[in-house]
Structure 1
């Protein structure tokens, strides 16, 4: 179904059948294609057709806003993203997010967690500073001084530890707050709250766009920061902003749901399988042939004492009439089981339309299990389903539980 529209706010659904036709200039077309959130193809009368695929998120290009909503819901999407990057990410980190748009959901969640983090004031700590000073403080950087000022005594290149609020945790928070101030569709109250939080972090350096995120380690001292830090990392990894270096101001948050599903399942299974010893590869890498010229890469491969014991493959198929096992998927898993010398393998579908099924392959001892996962259910229940599947797979592989999950 095609719908004609004028530039403004357009909302599409992931893998939906709806397409919007509207007039765009060359800069808007180029920006939409670069963001790769939607497909943009020529229509009639010089207009362009915009259609959603398996990527979700939002983009603003000048006065044009396009949002593709995930079928799993915003809260679950944010949880999958956060958990895949850090299993310490908890469902409550994104609990209660608004459902009316990605930008308000991110802003409201960031405000709530950052306000709690700063309730007792910003954290302070010792940070290493490299500077040029008119006096000696800390250690002199002789090599840097000789290179920068040969024959000149002052100022002196030094390195010292300074006790301040300019630490990795606060840099993450302030950069995320400032990034959110560039996105569209924020309520005035949210903008005011973000400005207030930014002021409370005055003196903290803001990370440049694309800069590596600073490393922080959970501790007793920064425990109250943890939810805000996890959400800040999520925002900074996926949210980009151009305040208008080109013709239009651009803000974008784009994620590939197929990759999100595979990454989430990989981490969730790795955590569940850790109770059985060994190690988990995501993806696994193993030769298919004797000459080792052909490689297989199942999404999740668990090994104990260097021997494969369980294999899983995740399939993100949520289109109507497509979310059920296909012959190629089963053939692929049979090849995995044969090369790995396993008696069973598991195919995990997102939102399957068929009940759980197990196939016994003729003339072999191999069974292949199909398990649909309901990605719309609460994260705790989904993680529980993954734990149960891991336990079933390891039971069939006759690997005993080493310690309580």
Structure 2
């Protein structure tokens, strides 16, 4: 059996290492990971003619296993895999790790994010089973020998005209085959064959078998479940487990989850852009609470570019955040970027985008500002840019600031968390250049 070579790298890092010749399954997985059309690359892996493999990481983190190569993209910008889950906890207002045994070893710099998520999912599912899985009524159509519920007259006429040995019935079944349980079953069954740790794999398979006796997942698409599950007092205890289950299914989306013959070639990857954006959105919202600054997230602004001859509009912008001074009405758009800006300049595309935001939302020449909040290993300020006008027209300003994500996450879990929020308020004040935070 070929031993896998393990390569560990951080987000946006590049490596070139010796590697065995790829199999057909390796090449297919690499093609899925690469960029295509409007989809950006999750991980760029290319085998070279000189016997090396070139690896280019992006904002996606996780574990990719080829036949003779394992690549671990570790979220070092946020301080490790454990803090990724802490960010998800904070962004969603839930506890994902509260039910793990107190003696469970959870290194902050753990490299296998997939194993950590499955470990938490297993423990959350155990708690749900211990307390009792919920059941509910669901409408069921079936062909029966005796009437149950009501007769589906149209189906009876079309399918069994003149025959009464089978009746087309519709009735309400009270059982556990509902989306709340199906989502857990789908995630556990998908993870069971892809966990590397023997004990965790056994635990995952055992729980998958328990849930299989209760329900049958109709799909492995996490969006199908999230559209149908609405939380209330009855099912709110499922939320942490569901969040973990969705992460498992989204992370494994590139795999053929219906096939058990993957021969160890598999991928689990999460987009840190999305996780970081949700985390910072709630962070800024809580930091600005009680001030004269308001916040809107992902709000669209239309009619940005107008054809003067026809009056038609061509463009809509949607900044990640728009911070509004409720006293003056001034608006400052702010983008959230999971990119490396500490020792690099803004990309040209980012500059064009931010200046467009500033000019579109600025109400006067003196208020054309835009900001960027990005992930960093320490709190830093900058870059700061402005348009240098060639005429008398006033320019626009862009200010950036790096958030020490690891320090902020640890601070939010400390006592009191207000100290971390105060730090964020000060950073936001510097970025947007508005008053009203005191």
Class of the TM-score when normalised by the shorter of the 2 chains: 0.7 to 0.9
Select 2:153's aligned residue among 137, 142, 146: 142
**Does 2:68 align with 1:55?**
no
Match of 1:77 in 2: 84
Distance of aligned partners of 1:35 and 1:111 in 2 relative to their CA distance in 1, 3 Å threshold: same
8 A Cα contact 2:321 2:334, kept in partner: yes
**Does 2:192 align with 1:189?**
no
**Does 2:125 align with 1:114?**
yes
Q: CA offsets per residue over residues 103-139 of structure 1, 9 Å max, x none?
A: 3212211122112222222222222222222222223
8 A Cα contact 1:134 1:154, kept in partner: yes
In structure 1, distance between residues paired with 2:138 and 2:24: 46
User: Across the two proteins, how many residue pairs are aligned to each other?
Assistant: 391
**Does 2:114 align with 1:103?**
yes
Q: CA offsets per residue over residues 124-174 of structure 1, 9 Å max, x none?
A: 222222222222222333334444444433433332222212222211222
For the residue of structure 1 that corresponds to 2:185, the secondary structure is helix
Give TM-score, length-normalised by structure 1.
0.78
Match of 2:268 in 1: 253
8 A Cα contact 1:269 1:386, kept in partner: no
- Return 5+ residue gaps in structure 2 as ranges: 35-41, 308-312, 413-419
Deviates more, 1:358-367 or 1:166-175: 358-367
For the aligned residue pairs, the C-alpha RMSD in angstroms reads: 4.0
8 A Cα contact 2:14 2:54, kept in partner: no
Give TM-score, length-normalised by structure 2.
0.73
Deviates more, 1:199-208 or 1:364-373: 364-373
**Does 2:423 align with 1:371?**
no
8 A Cα contact 1:137 1:158, kept in partner: yes
Distance of aligned partners of 1:320 and 1:167 in 2 relative to their CA distance in 1, 3 Å threshold: same
Distance of aligned partners of 1:117 and 1:91 in 2 relative to their CA distance in 1, 3 Å threshold: closer
8 A Cα contact 1:16 1:53, kept in partner: yes
Kindly report which structure 2 residues correspond to 1:145-294, keeping only aligned pairs within 5 A, or say none: 145-186=156-197, 188-201=198-211, 202-210=213-221, 212-213=224-225, 215-240=228-253, 241-242=255-256, 244=259, 248=263, 250-266=265-281, 268-269=283-284, 280-282=296-298, 284-291=300-307, 292-294=313-315
- Return 5+ residue gaps in structure 1 as ranges: 1-5
Deviates more, 1:160-169 or 1:95-104: 95-104
Please state how far the C-alpha of 1:222 moved relative to its aligned partner. Answer: 2.7
Q: CA offsets per residue over residues 155-201 of structure 1, 9 Å max, x none?
A: 33332222212222211222222122021412x32223223323432
Match of 2:380 in 1: 355
For the residue of structure 2 that corresponds to 1:345, the secondary structure is strand
In structure 1, distance between residues paired with 2:318 and 2:115: 38
Please state how far the C-alpha of 1:75 moved relative to its aligned partner. Answer: 2.1
8 A Cα contact 2:188 2:204, kept in partner: yes
In structure 1, distance between residues paired with 2:133 and 2:123: 15
In structure 2, distance between residues paired with 1:389 and 1:159: 61
8 A Cα contact 1:79 1:94, kept in partner: no
